[in-house]
Amino acid sequence: MSSIRGIKEGCKSSRVILSGDSAGFVDSFYGEGIAYAIRSGQIAVEVISEIILNNKDLKTLKNYEVVTKSRL
């Protein structure tokens, strides 16, 4: 992850989710980021799919930050 092990604040907005390097998912010591990019993309798909399939409000995007903090 980034230097303080966490995602950038604001890696999602009302209609946008950032994943991978753009969201700060990179190990600054080793420069590793591919695994974080893949996993954060998978989490984004899970959250977006839940919104679409269950007709949930876009405010549910906040779950992305919660889930990525717990899984990455």
Which residues constitute the domain of residue 43? 20-71
Higher pLDDT, 45 or 14: 45
Higher pLDDT, 61 or 10: 61
Residue 27 located in a structural domain: yes
* High-pLDDT (> 70) share of the chain, %: 81
Mean pLDDT for the stretch of residues 18-42: 86
Sign of torsion over alpha carbons 28, 5, 72, 40 = negative
Residue 31 located in a structural domain: yes
16-41 exposure pattern, b = at least 16 Cβ within 10 A, e = fewer: ebbbbeebbbbeeeeeebeebbebbe
Amino acid, single-letter form, for residue 56 = K
Whole-model pTM: value is 0.76
pLDDT band at 2; cut points 50, 70, 90: very low
Residue 9 located in a structural domain: no
pLDDT band at 19; cut points 50, 70, 90: confident
